[in-house]
């Protein structure tokens, strides 16, 4: 039995949803999903109201449609509809990498910036349905670019600024973007990131791109290609400050976001307009118990889905004040997060366990010397939060006063699916607790048989919710294959979970070949193909292993081609190679030279064994008799890298 943290009286007093309401709404959302979602679909502004609510099948060809005959414009929902009431309210607080730089942008100002860029993009020939690749640092222009794209009915695809030119090129090619919006350089922790130079490199292999728009962030020297590249500032200065939003169908694509799968190249997860916005805004309001006037800060990057749903779309649809942070938690000091909380009087703070763990290592003093009196609620996302980090976050950061919402969801789900609601859910450290309205989690065993009651198994979702992804860009077959064939008729999350006697969910981590490094998803197959692309590598196998700060680290077994020497230098070279091929987030933490890999007689690598060795759990390797050459295992155990 783990400790239970009751709902604080202070929280209960003002919370939007109390325990009774949660259960009433939840029951209704399951018994009458059409009625429930018809009602909550009205929380956004429709140009033409929907009459159909839901048309979903998880079988056969799989289709997912919500509010399909309604029309709207997502950017108008995030901007125009707030102007009368809150034109002068701050929409975005921007906090620069350097603590001396910050800005407040009102809804009116943001609206004008978005209109100008929408006009500028239209002048460049970008039309509804076209793909816009955004490769920007955490600056207000990133939100402006997203909303301008939505305003003209285009489809944005944001590529995280930490990805390499090759990774960027792959994502541009997959969706045939006609335009890239980038900056001269990014700035993180005082270091410059050569974004424009990376785009130039990427575009050597991308033929679809006609225009590159460059924001001046650092003023660094960049090469501008005549006829292709233009400065953002010049374009918006020339453009008109008003723009009529384009009327879009509820099911029109809003954005694509590439994420790692268990095999092959990244998947282009497609989200559409109406259902996504209903779900992102509703979860933002109730999970974070957002009240008018609250200052809300999500520390994610807009390159990840968390930034899409909970920095930009959810908060802005709700007329919230959302803080956007360019920097990192330990620059210039390890008090930075809490200094920013005090500077801007942040009430709601949402971050990842990996950040908590790395700050925890620095002790309490850098936290305790700040006030944090404005904080009311804390959130966690991206990976399981270990109870030790949870209690530190609660006791030290929140002074024992602020509930923590541990929110479980995925790029594919568009918004939070399993989470506490602060006024409705007693907390257990390490548990994401209960499903959000309309969400029916289902536990199954390896054969797909449903497991009832307190149990442990694979986590599926029984039916759709409005924020669910609709397909994979250009590959509906892979969409079906990835999510609906393992357990036919159910959405398979790829996660394992435990459900306790109170019906609380405890996410145990991925059960597929995806690893979670500092809350970032990485396909082991992607790292493997980067490694084998190196001329000295014959074969590679990559697995995750428990890492104190990152949650999981990347452990690579590498077989060199005949005659190559395994040296420390080569080890470093391979790490740099992967950084260059994919990006720093894919850097292997440990590389083990392995003369052979454990394979079955049919040539399949037995990853189970590799995982065990990487976890330093080599005593329990299980049955190795089916291996083609059982002796390779002895060598791997002998030379294992993770001795704890
Ligand atoms: C995977 C999704 C959700 C936005 C950020 C990551 C893991 C996410 C939690 C949590 C335990 C979590 C899962 C999931 N995950 N949140 N609160 N507790 N695990 O999005 O990159 O699509 O990764 O992150 O394994 O499947 P993503």
Locate tokens 């942070």: which residue?
A: 325
Q: Which of 147-156, 269-278, 330-339, 623-632 is least confident? A: 623-632
Q: Quick one: pLDDT at residue 263?
A: 79
On whether the CB atoms of residues 181 and 157 are closer than 8 A, the answer is: no
Specify the ligand 1 atom closest to the Cα of 418. Answer: 17
Look over the chain and give the mean of its residue pLDDT values, rounded to a whole number.
Answer: 97
The alpha carbon of 373 is separated from its chain's Cα centroid by a whole number of angstroms, namely 29
Q: Name 438's Cβ contacts closer than 8 Å, sequence gap at least 6.
A: 29, 30, 33, 36, 37, 465, 466
Q: Quick one: pLDDT at residue 2?
A: 76
Whether the bond between 449 and the residue before it is cis, its omega within 30 degrees of 0, is no
Proportion of the chain above pLDDT 90, given as a percent: 95
Of 606, 597, 580, 599, the closest CA to residue 527 belongs to 580
For the stretch 97-112, pLDDT in tens is 999 999 999 999 999 9
Nearest-CA residue for atom 23 of ligand 1: 410
Tokens, residue 185 = 């350089």
Specify the ligand 1 atom closest to the Cα of 407. Answer: 17
To test the ligand 1 pocket, which listed residue (472, 492, 516, 550) has its Cβ within 8 A of the most ligand atoms?
A: 516
Nearest-CA residue for atom 10 of ligand 1: 408
Q: What angle do CA 107, 110, 115 make, to 5 degrees?
A: 125
Specify the ligand 1 atom closest to the Cα of 494. Answer: 26
Predicted ipTM of the assembly: 0.99
The alpha carbon of 425 is separated from its chain's Cα centroid by a whole number of angstroms, namely 24
pTM: 0.97
Q: Quick one: pLDDT at residue 264?
A: 74
For the stretch 403-418, pLDDT in tens is 999 999 999 999 999 9
| Helix, strand, or coil (residue 405) | strand
To test the ligand 1 pocket, which listed residue (409, 499, 510, 518) has its Cβ within 8 A of the most ligand atoms?
A: 409
For the stretch 26-47, pLDDT in tens is 999 999 999 999 999 999 999 9
Handedness of CA 137, 143, 146, 151 (dihedral sign): negative
User: 469 alpha carbon to ligand 1 midpoint, in Å?
Assistant: 15
Query: What span, in angstroms and rounded, lies between the C-alpha atoms of 77 and 147?
Result: 10
Q: What's the CA dihedral at 196, 200, 203, 204 to 10 degrees?
A: -160
E-strand ranges in 107-154 read 131-135
Locate tokens 């709207």: which residue?
A: 72
User: Which protein residues touch ligand 1 with a CB less than 6 Å away?
Assistant: 259, 304-306, 381-384, 406-411, 432, 493-495, 507, 509-510, 516, 521
Query: What span, in angstroms and rounded, lies between the C-alpha atoms of 370 and 372?
Result: 6
Integer angstrom CA distances of residue 440 from 33, 268, 498: 11, 25, 15
Q: What's the alpha-carbon Rg for the chain, to the nearest Å? A: 24
Q: Quick one: pLDDT at residue 232?
A: 98
Q: Name 256's Cβ contacts closer than 8 Å, sequence gap at least 6.
A: 131, 155, 156, 157, 175, 268, 269, 270, 271, 473
To test the ligand 1 pocket, which listed residue (308, 383, 407, 420) has its Cβ within 8 A of the most ligand atoms?
A: 383
Q: Quick one: pLDDT at residue 261?
A: 87
Identify the band that residue 499 occupies on the pLDDT scale cut at 50, 70 and 90: very high
Of 498, 528, 499, the closest CA to residue 513 belongs to 528
Integer angstrom CA distances of residue 272 from 23, 170, 385, 469, 594: 29, 22, 30, 7, 45
Residues of the chain with CATH 3.30.300.30: 518-639
Identify the band that residue 271 occupies on the pLDDT scale cut at 50, 70 and 90: very high
Q: Across residues 51-59, what is the average pLDDT?
A: 98
410 labeled part of a ligand binding site: yes
Nearest-CA residue for atom 8 of ligand 1: 382
518-639 — its CATH code? Answer: 3.30.300.30
For the stretch 421-456, pLDDT in tens is 999 999 999 999 999 999 999 999 999 999 999 999
Q: Tell me the pairing of strands 248-249 and 131-135.
A: unpaired
Locate tokens 């050597």: which residue?
A: 204
For the stretch 364-375, pLDDT in tens is 999 999 999 999
Nearest-CA residue for atom 14 of ligand 1: 410
Q: Which of 51-65, 209-223, 250-264 is least confident? A: 250-264
Of 218, 219, 201, 217, the closest CA to residue 209 belongs to 201
- CATH superfamily of domain region 9-498: ANL, N-terminal domain (3.40.50.12780)
Specify the ligand 1 atom closest to the Cα of 432. Answer: 17
Tokens, residue 267 = 């998947």
* Eight-state DSSP code of residue 11: H
Query: What span, in angstroms and rounded, lies between the C-alpha atoms of 335 and 621?
Result: 43
Identify the band that residue 468 occupies on the pLDDT scale cut at 50, 70 and 90: very high
Of 253, 291, 317, the closest CA to residue 44 belongs to 317
Q: Name 570's Cβ contacts closer than 8 Å, sequence gap at least 6.
A: 536, 560, 564
510 labeled part of a ligand binding site: yes
Q: What are phi and psi of 144, to 5 degrees?
A: -60, -45
Handedness of CA 534, 537, 543, 547 (dihedral sign): negative
518 labeled part of a ligand binding site: yes
Specify the ligand 1 atom closest to the Cα of 510. Answer: 25
406 labeled part of a ligand binding site: yes
Nearest-CA residue for atom 2 of ligand 1: 410
For the stretch 554-582, pLDDT in tens is 999 999 999 999 999 999 999 999 999 99
176 labeled part of a ligand binding site: no
Specify the ligand 1 atom closest to the Cα of 493. Answer: 26
User: 446 alpha carbon to ligand 1 midpoint, in Å?
Assistant: 21
Nearest-CA residue for atom 1 of ligand 1: 410
Specify the ligand 1 atom closest to the Cα of 260. Answer: 21
407 labeled part of a ligand binding site: yes
Identify the band that residue 181 occupies on the pLDDT scale cut at 50, 70 and 90: very high
Q: Decide if pLDDT at 272 tops 80.
A: yes
Identify the band that residue 1 occupies on the pLDDT scale cut at 50, 70 and 90: low
User: 134 alpha carbon to ligand 1 midpoint, in Å?
Assistant: 23
Specify the ligand 1 atom closest to the Cα of 507. Answer: 11
The alpha carbon of 4 is separated from its chain's Cα centroid by a whole number of angstroms, namely 28
376 labeled part of a ligand binding site: no
For the stretch 477-496, pLDDT in tens is 999 999 999 999 999 999 99
Q: Across residues 619-633, what is the average pLDDT?
A: 85
Residues of the chain with CATH 3.40.50.12780: 9-498
382 labeled part of a ligand binding site: yes
């Amino acid at each position: 039995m783990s400790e239970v943290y009751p709902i604080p009286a202070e929280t209960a007093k003002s919370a939007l949803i109390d325990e009774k309401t949660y259960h009433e709404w939840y029951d209704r959302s399951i018994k009458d999903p059409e009625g429930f979602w018809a009602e909550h679909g009205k929380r956004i502004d429709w140009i033409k109201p929907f009459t159909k609510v839901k048309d979903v099948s998880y079988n056969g060809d799989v289709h997912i449609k919500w509010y399909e005959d309604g029309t709207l414009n997502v950017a108008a929902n995030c901007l125009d509809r707030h102007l009368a009431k809150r034109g002068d309210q701050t929409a975005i607080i921007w906090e620069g990498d350097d603590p001396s730089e910050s800005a407040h942008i009102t809804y009116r100002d943001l609206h004008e910036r978005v209109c100008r860029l929408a006009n500028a993009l239209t002048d460049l020939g970008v039309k509804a349905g076209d793909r816009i690749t955004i490769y920007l640092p955490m600056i207000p222009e990133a939100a402006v670019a997203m909303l301008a794209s939505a305003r003209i009915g285009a489809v944005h695809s944001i590529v995280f600024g930490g990805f390499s030119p090759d990774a960027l090129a792959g994502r541009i090619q997959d969706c045939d973007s006609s335009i890239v919006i980038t900056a001269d350089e990014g700035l993180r922790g005082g270091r410059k990131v050569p974004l424009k130079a990376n785009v130039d490199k990427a575009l050597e292999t991308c033929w679809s791109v006609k225009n590159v728009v460059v924001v001046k962030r650092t003023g660094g020297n960049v090469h501008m290609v005549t006829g292709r590249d233009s400065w953002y500032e010049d374009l918006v200065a020339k453009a008109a400050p008003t723009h009529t939003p384009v009327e879009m169908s509820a099911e029109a694509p809003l954005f694509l976001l590439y994420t790692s799968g268990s095999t092959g190249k990244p998947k282009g997860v497609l989200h559409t307009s109406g259902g996504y916005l209903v779900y992102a805004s509703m979860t933002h309001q109730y999970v974070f118990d957002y009240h008018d006037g609250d200052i809300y800060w999500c520390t994610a990057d807009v390159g990840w889905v968390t930034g899409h749903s909970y920095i930009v779309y959810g908060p802005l649809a709700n007329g919230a004040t959302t803080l956007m942070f360019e920097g990192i938690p330990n620059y210039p000091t390890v008090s930075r997060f809490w200094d920013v909380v005090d500077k801007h009087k942040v009430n709601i703070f949402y971050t990842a366990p990996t950040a908590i763990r790395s700050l925890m290592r620095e002790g309490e003093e850098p936290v305790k010397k700040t006030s944090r009196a404005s904080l009311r609620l804390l959130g966690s996302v991206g990976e399981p939060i270990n109870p030790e980090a949870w209690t530190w976050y609660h006791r030290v950061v929140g002074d024992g006063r602020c509930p923590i919402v541990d929110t479980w969801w995925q790029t594919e789900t568009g918004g939070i699916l399993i989470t506490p609601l602060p006024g409705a859910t007693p907390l257990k450290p390490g548990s994401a607790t209960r499903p959000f309205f309309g969400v029916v989690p289902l536990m199954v065993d390896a054969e797909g048989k449903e497991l009832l009651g307190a149990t442990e198994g694979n986590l599926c979702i029984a039916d759709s919710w409005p924020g669910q992804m609709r397909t994979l860009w250009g590959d509906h077959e892979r969409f079906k294959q990835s999510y609906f064939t393992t357990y036919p008729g159910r959405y398979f999350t790829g996660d394992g979970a435990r459900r306790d006697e109170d019906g609380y969910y405890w996410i145990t981590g991925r059960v597929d070949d995806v690893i979670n490094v500092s809350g970032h998803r990485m396909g082991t197959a992607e790292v493997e193909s980067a490694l084998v692309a190196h001329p000295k590598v014959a074969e590679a196998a990559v697995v995750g292993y428990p890492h104190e700060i990152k949650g999981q680290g990347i452990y690579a077994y590498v077989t060199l081609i005949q005659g190559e020497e395994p040296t420390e230098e080569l080890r470093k070279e391979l790490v740099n190679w992967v950084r260059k091929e994919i990006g720093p987030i894919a850097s292997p933490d440990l590389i083990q030279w392995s003369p052979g890999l454990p394979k079955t007689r049919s040539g399949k690598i037995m990853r189970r064994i590799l995982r065990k060795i990487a976890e330093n759990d080599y005593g329990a390797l299980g049955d190795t008799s089916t291996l083609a050459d059982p002796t390779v295992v002895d060598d791997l155990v002998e030379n294992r890298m993770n001795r704890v």
